[in-house]
Amino acid sequence: MQLALFLIFGLLAIAAALNLLLQRHPINSALSLVVVMMSLAVLYWSLGAEFLAAAQVIVYSGAIMVLFVFVIMLLNAGEEEKTDGSKIAYIAGFPGAAAIFCLLSFVFLSERKALGTSYVGEYLTGAVSNIQEISTVLFTRLLLPFEVTSVLILVAILGAVVLARKEQ
């Protein structure tokens, strides 16, 4: 199961990263980056790092990508072009999405017991959870880099606003 998930979402992350580089329009590149971030979240989840997967979805795929799209729109990076869509997306997209859905349904239905209540029992017996270990490291040894990253993101937002400001 883990090998199948790793191969599917690893290849999806690589394909989306290549698509990110090859896109001409910045909004399409940002959407490709969302696919990369979501694929990484599934890879984290398959490795047993549920908190990192949730943080990846909430922080990076959600908040940071909204920030990127906001900056792209603020900078007015180009005119929107109306297209009919890619023929490759129509040919490979629907069958590919159906195949991934069927494969994931099969994996989840065949591994129902492993995903059930027996897994939750480990946390109730006193084992240290993933969230406790991450928060201990994050708020002790890595507190300074965490806060420096926050300030750096704030400076980047302010710089984008200053650059996008129109002179009157």
CA distance 150 to 132: 22
User: Is residue 12 a contact partner of residue 39, using CB atoms and an 8 Å limit?
Assistant: yes
Q: Who's near 59: CB < 8 A, 6+ residues apart?
A: none
pTM across the whole model:
0.56
Identify the CATH assignment for 2-77+107-164 out of 3.75.10.10, 1.10.3720.10, 1.20.140.10, 1.20.120.1200.
1.20.120.1200
Q: Residue 9 is encoded by which pair of tokens?
A: 């979402």
User: Is residue 41 a contact partner of residue 57, using CB atoms and an 8 Å limit?
Assistant: yes
Residue 59's alpha-carbon distances to 63, 66, 67, 115, 168, in angstroms, are 5, 10, 11, 25, 36
pLDDT per position as a tens digit, 42-93:
998 888 888 888 888 888 888 888 777 777 777 765 566 666 666 777 777 7
